[in-house]
Amino acid sequence: MNFRFMSLLPLAFQLMSCSNDNFLKSSNLIGLRIIGIIADQPEVSPGATVTLTPIVSDYNGGGRAISYQYQLCGDPGISYGAAPSCTGQTIVSSSSGTLAGLSAPNYVGPTSAISLSLPDAATVFANRSSIDQFNGVDLLFVMTVSAGKESLTAFRRISVTTKTVVNQNPVIADILSVGVSVTTLPATKVSISPSLASQPEVFETMSIDGVVKSQTETLIVSWYSTGGILKYVRTLSDSANEWDPPTAQTDGRSQVLIAIVRDARGGLGYLIREL
């Protein structure tokens, strides 16, 4: 395995083994999957309203009903090894319902948007230092989706901050192969890369001695497909991947290729290409 790409794994939100089998499974979109949860505001001020949109794949589901339930709570300390769960935490909000938005024939894409009203400053910043407030105090959104016998849980963190310049979602404009937009199913193995409509942001963090420092994001792209083999599950945003596509479409349906770009600060962008 290429060490350069192994080094990207700690930046990802999900941990996985480095075996080829697990790589193939993680990039394969045959079963029910939550492949991302995008927030309209990755970083927010206290008391803001945030809209979250799950990006879901249910390629072989045939349009079945997908139910969901979620909880929003304080971050239990995921960065320090705590489980991504609201168990034992103060619940800010919770709800359940049925996801809508996945349409025939591929049933892949954004689903029902969920709006969350966040706590005010007195609540979310209680007993937190000015340094914590500047760097961001995380809330945890935990979502479980179920369809038939399948059920899975995903999470994301929402950063509440006193910063005036906050994070924006990165944007993918296209998926290219040697500079040409990929719009049809390739006949052979191809090199693929994302074309970004945004550049890595420069952002500020405050050290424990109160000094504000500037850093630049590293954008990581996760790749998914409904068929064929992807060489890498993740790449740097300026690096190419390889896709050995299936020889034909499945049951008359399109093959789906998806690129998800993350900035490791809660920002997410995606592009779904149906071929």
3-state secondary structure of 246: coil
Entry pTM:
0.88
What is the block-wise mean pLDDT of the chain (275 residues), using blocks of 10 residues?
A: 35 34 65 95 97 96 95 94 94 96 94 96 97 97 96 96 97 96 95 96 96 97 95 95 86 90 96 95
* Numbered ranges of CATH 2.60.40.10 in the chain: 31-163
pLDDT of residue 113: 96
Three-state secondary structure along 184-226? Answer: CCCCCCEEEEEEECCCCCEEEEECCCCCEEEEECCCEEEEEEC
The Cα–Cα gap between 160 and 267 comes to 13
The Cα–Cα gap between 28 and 215 comes to 34
State which H helix or E strand residue 57 sits in.
Answer: strand 49-57
**Residue whose entry in the numeric block shows the structure tokens 């029902």:** 112
Terminal Cα-to-Cα distance of the chain (whole angstroms):
28
The Cα–Cα gap between 214 and 16 comes to 31
pLDDT of residue 25: 60
3-state secondary structure of 159: strand
* Numbered ranges of CATH 2.60.40.2410 in the chain: 1-29+167-275
Amino acid at 14: Q
The Cα–Cα gap between 189 and 3 comes to 22
**Residue whose entry in the numeric block shows the structure tokens 């390629």:** 59
State which H helix or E strand residue 27 sits in.
Answer: helix 20-27
CATH of domain 31-163: 2.60.40.10
Please provide residue 58's backbone torsions phi and psi, each rounded to the nearest 5 degrees.
-140, 55
Helical residues (DSSP H) of 7-165, grouped into ranges: 20-27, 121-124, 130-135
3-state secondary structure of 11: helix
Cβ count within 10 A of residue 183: 11
Options 2.102.10.10, 3.30.450.40, 2.60.40.2410, 2.60.120.10; CATH for 1-29+167-275 is 2.60.40.2410
- C-alpha distance from residue 121 to each of 47, 128, 160, 161 (Å): 7, 10, 9, 9
Q: Which two tokens stand for residue 249?
A: 């479409």
Bridge partners, 141 (sequence order): 72, 156
